[in-house]
Structure 1
């Protein structure tokens, strides 16, 4: 075990690691931080506002907090207080407004993060990355077709098993989302993910955009 880990984080090493330490601290404070999973750089927990990850600084006692979605990650602050850390993670998971989080947890630095969301930056940057990637050239025609529509380009895109996935909320993995796969002969298959009994629906090219708009705007 590294000397800096013993020196700076005796409470973490005493219980066998960061995941166990956070879970124990959350239990003592009556906080729900969800399932905390170890990663090579620390731990992570899934929330409706992206994945919250926590890492340990080596040069001083600091728990560094990040939020991530596919291909994007933001640092949102750091603290030396394990109890305050788990309270902040719990409040984040509960959906506390950003202004409330700023006021309650002074170590959180949310200005750049919230400005990026307000500008639609994660979504527009993700579109640019996918459209310019040679790795996804097989989906490029479909991506261009969808991106050409002013409404649909506002949804967050990813590629999943060769299909284009469109999600209403970039940070929320459980928000309304569709999978779109290109078939031969100007035909497509569309799947509304995350609903009971989902099935693929074949859609002709001429109806694709209207079909996607309607499905993504449906509660």
Structure 2
């Protein structure tokens, strides 16, 4: 596999790996790009519009680009979506640098045709990723089982400002989309009348059963507690 990888990525091998290859090509300073934990061939580039991850394929020469909003730790899932792929390291680096510099998404799409900038990326640029995410989850047939809970949470004027994701059938609410250590809570619906809630990242926190009529107040308190 290692020999096969070297054959696919001789330029990366010659540079000493993907991290130095991208740093050398993009002239990014130290601390702005690093290997993605756990140990993989992927790298992470920090930007004001989320973390960009670059993941080289193993069966063909292809650099896959994703945007990653981290979880509380790398062991806790965050929010990730693919934005394209290319076999050209030079084009990849130029696209990463342009994304990092804040080039508008419509110009990025024209300049780098391999990028696939969807509606969420547009919402991110407009500063509306949270409302776009709520709309997506509330209209997704895949998440139909969570619709009742999502609607209950979204109806609250405070909780609808939290960024929602679905994690193992539970709804995760995060105060700050771009901060992996931001206050978060997981809500799991038991039977429509009872819920379990856990405060993510709080030492010793465990699932707490919360009745329906107390759910909103409990979540407000948990997510606003400093």
Query: Shift in Å at residue 15 of structure 1?
Result: 3.9
Selected match of 2:134 from 121, 127, 132 = 127
Selected match of 2:150 from 143, 149, 157 = 143
Partners of 1:191 and 1:211 lie apart in 2 by: 11
Selected match of 2:177 from 170, 174, 193 = 170
Provide structure 1 residue ranges, at least 5 long, that are not aligned to the other structure: 57-62, 89-104
Secondary structure, aligned partner of 1:207: helix
Query: Shift in Å at residue 202 of structure 1?
Result: 1.1
TM-score by length of 2: 0.62
Partners of 1:154 and 1:140 lie apart in 2 by: 17
Partners of 1:117 and 1:142 lie apart in 2 by: 25
Partners of 2:68 and 2:185 lie apart in 1 by: 21
TM-score by length of 1: 0.64
Query: Shift in Å at residue 130 of structure 1?
Result: 0.7
Name the structure 1 match of 2:101.
108
| Contact 1:157 1:166 (8 Å CA) reproduced | yes
Partners of 2:178 and 2:35 lie apart in 1 by: 18
Partners of 1:66 and 1:158 lie apart in 2 by: 17
Secondary structure, aligned partner of 1:184: coil
Structure-2 change in CA distance of 1:137 and 1:199 (3 Å)? same
Equivalent runs, 1:45-84 vs 2, <5 Å: 45=44, 50-54=50-54, 67-69=67-69, 70=79, 72=81
Structure-2 change in CA distance of 1:66 and 1:176 (3 Å)? same
Equivalent runs, 1:21-60 vs 2, <5 Å: 21-22=21-22, 31=31, 33-36=33-36, 43-45=42-44, 50-54=50-54
Indicate the RMSD between aligned Cα atoms, in angstroms.
4.3
Provide structure 2 residue ranges, at least 5 long, that are not aligned to the other structure: 1-6, 57-62, 70-78, 106-119
Matched length: 186
Selected match of 1:194 from 172, 181, 201 = 201
Partners of 1:107 and 1:208 lie apart in 2 by: 39
Query: Shift in Å at residue 139 of structure 1?
Result: 0.8
